[in-house]
Amino acid sequence: MHRSDSCNLLQHAFRLPRALKGLKKRSLPGGSCFLPMGRWTAGAAVAACVLAGCRGGPLEAERLHAWVTASWTSGRGVVSNNELPAAGAVAVEFVPAPKPLAKELFDADRPAMPERIRTVLYRDWERRDPGATEAIRRIRSKPAFVEFPHARDTFANHLESTYAILQAWDQPPRVCRTGLVHTAYSGDLFSFFAFDAALSSERSRLAALIGEEAEPLVHLFGTVARHEFVGLGRMMANRTIDAEDLAGPVLARSRLGPDVELDATVVAELIVITLADYLDQTLEVNGWRDHHMVDPLDTPLFPGAGRPEVCLFWMAAACRAVKDFLEVVPPIFDSCTATLTSRDEERARDLYWAVVQNRTELSDAQAGAMLTEAAALNPHIGEVDALAAQLHFRNQRFRKAKRLAASALRKLYAMGATWDKRLSYEAWVGFCRLLVVRSEAGGGLPRAPGAHNVNDLGARLVPIDMAVELMP
């Protein structure tokens, strides 16, 4: 049974009588003996399980359930809780655990991980996109992708990260595959290419790599003026959110020749891929943009401080402008319905970064107030809530810590990418999930029994499998 299910106290209480009822006849040393399961016995079992849960939490209830069932199975009956051997019980306890784990059946502060996010964490691309693993392997065999630097990583890592973001947004396979090699033919603002867009032989090579359905979309991504769609370039330059709603076919400029007319659905898909592309590189200092494509005298020191770039405002506006023509609307920005101004985004970013940079100079109250304001200005960033949750956790305000850690998870699941790129997406998600568990247990973690499970510092060891099973 999954540990997250076992944390429901009443589940164990009412499951115990059913388990005992099935054990009617047992063979004892003196011969056969019937052990009837009457209503009083069932009631006692329920009460015992509830009392165990009140004393030690749902894990204690599960421990009692396992012991009682084993006792009746062996024919000993229920004798004394002191007889419960560690080896026969659930091999986990919480030390310290001033408060028991408290998981309700429908706990809003334990957000379940969406399957699309689980796919990203496990890199289980075959489950949603058969053949993707081989395509990625072949991409990672090419020096043009593996050895060339990009915004904050190698070109190959950026391409797969863009693909992962599109998977996290539940986009169709052809859109995800386009993201996997989106700038293989270059881009309207990108000065490099790996495949020549003008050669049919090169197009055939790329089609063989990612599939016939995705290649035309990749070709358009690298050859048409995407920054002119819905006023994208204007919003970037002027820091405005006056996107032009997509209403029908668009006549797009192409660097290969005459203008091309694009269906609105194609334009919408190109915009979504563009958003995923930019979202993977939202840093103030960008390798290709600020270094490899400009005069050496004008380059900032790479990689900079890692401060997030102000760019979500135009992403939200662009997504809102094209959502009606998308097969699947991404979960970002409240499913592409929210509005975010550049002023609010910048103020929220600056507050967050001030907490990061000046943590030792700020009191917890000051830092908490700054993060609360940041979350109000930009309610789409999970990392803001993740920091605030830690402030409450260290001050033993575990309910608030859990609530904010859960809020951070919901936002991270919706964004499908990191905003603060000092950590990977997987690291942010894992940290917040474990913080939910520790907040539920009042700071505790599952500890393995036995003298051998103690390290040189005197701390009892934590079984990772148990900790993961407790995560939401």
| Cβ–Cβ under 8 Å, residues 49 and 12 | yes
Please say if the pLDDT value at position 7 is more than 50: no
Q: How confident is the model at residue 284 (pLDDT cuts 50, 70, 90)?
A: confident
Q: Are both 261 and 361 inside the same structural domain? A: no
Q: Is residue 45 part of a domain?
A: yes
Q: pLDDT value at position 108?
A: 77
pLDDT at position 187 is: 84
Instruction: Please report which confidence band the pLDDT of residue 294 belongs to, taking 50, 70 and 90 as the band edges.
Output: low
Name every residue whose Cβ is closer than 8 Å to that of residue 361 and which is 6 or more positions away in sequence: none
pLDDT band at 445 (very low <50, low <70, confident <90, very high): confident
Grade residue 205 by pLDDT with cuts at 50, 70 and 90.
Answer: very high
pLDDT in tens, 137-148: 999 999 988 888
Residue 26 has pLDDT above 80, yes or no: no
Residues 348 and 242 in one domain: no
> Both 180 and 309 in a single domain?
yes
**How does pLDDT run across 187-200, given as a tens digit for each residue?**
877 778 899 999 99
Q: Which of the two residues, 96 and 279, has the higher pLDDT score?
A: 279
Please tell me the predicted confidence (pLDDT) of residue 307. Answer: 92
Same domain, 394 and 321: no
The per-residue pLDDT for 291 is 55
Asked if residue 90 lies in contact with residue 63, where contact means CB atoms within 8 angstroms, the answer is: yes
Per-residue pLDDT for 321 more than 90? Answer: yes
Co-location of 311 and 444 in the same domain: no
Give pLDDT, residue 218. Answer: 98
CATH of the domain at 437: 1.25.40.10
Give the pLDDT band (50/70/90) at residue 33: very low
| Same-domain status, 305 and 443 | no
**Quick one: pLDDT band at residue 46, thresholds 50, 70, 90?**
low
pLDDT digits (tens, 9 = 90+) for 373-431: 999 999 999 999 999 999 999 999 999 999 999 999 999 999 999 999 999 999 999 99
- pLDDT (0 to 100) of residue 45: 52
Confidence bin at 84 (pLDDT 50/70/90):
very low
Which whole number is the average pLDDT over 263-280? 97
Structural domain includes residue 112: no
Q: pLDDT digits over 53-77, tens only?
A: 544 444 444 544 544 444 444 443 3
Average of per-residue pLDDT across 326-355: 98
Domain containing 382: what range?
342-453
Q: In this predicted structure, what is the pLDDT of residue 145? A: 87
User: How many Å apart are CA 421 and CA 429, to the nearest integer?
Assistant: 13
**CA distances for 399 relative to 94, 328, 441, angstroms:** 18, 35, 10
**Does 355 map to a domain?**
yes
State whether 296 and 349 are in the same domain: no
Q: Are residues 332 and 393 in the same domain?
A: no
Q: What percent of the chain has pLDDT over 90?
A: 64
Residues 19 and 146 in one domain: no
Residues 376 and 246 in one domain: no
Let me know whether 379 and 433 are in one domain. yes
Residue 350 counted as domain residue: yes
Per-residue pLDDT, averaged over 106-111, amounts to 79
Over residues 276-281, mean pLDDT: 94
244 in a structural domain: yes
- Average of per-residue pLDDT across 153-161: 90
More confident residue, 18 or 163: 163
Mean pLDDT computed over every residue of the chain:
82
The angle, 0 to 180 degrees and rounded to 10, between the axes of the packed helices 342-357 and 312-322 is: 140
Nearest in space to 117 (alpha carbons), one of 463, 433, 387, 405: 433
Give me the number of domains the chain comprises.
Answer: 3
Whether residue 176 sits in one domain with residue 258: yes
Task: Please give the Cα distance from 31 to 211 (Å, whole number).
Answer: 71
Position 464 pLDDT exceeds 90: yes
Domain boundary among the residues 293, 309, 336 is at 336
3-state secondary structure the chain: CCHHHHCCHHHHHHHHHHHHHCCCEEEECCEEEECCCCHHHHHHHHHHHHHHHHHHCHHHHHHHHHHHHHHHHHCCCCCCHHHCCHHHCCCCEECCCCCCCCCCCCCCCCCCCCHHHHHHHHCCHHHHCCCHHHHHHHHCCCHHHHCCECCCCEHHHHHHHHHHHHHHCCCCHHHHHHHHCCCCCCECCECCCCCCCCCHHHHHHHHHHHCCCCHHHHHHHHHECHHHHHHHHHHHHHCCCCCCCCCCCEEEEECCEEEEEECHHHHHHHHHHHHHHHHCCCECCCHHHHHHCCCHHHCCCCCCCCCECCCHHHHHHHHHHHHHHCCCCCCHHHHHCCCCCHHHHHHHHHHHHHHHHCHHHCCHHHHHHHHHHHHHHCCCCHHHHHHHHHHHHHCCCHHHHHHHHHHHHHHHHHHCCCCCCCCCHHHHHHHHHHHHHHHHCCCCCEECCCCCCECCCCCECCCHHHHHHHCC
Spatial separation of the C-alpha atoms in residues 242 and 446, rounded to whole Å: 52
Q: Taking Cα atoms as reference points, which of 34, 120, 116, 112 lies closest to residue 75? A: 34
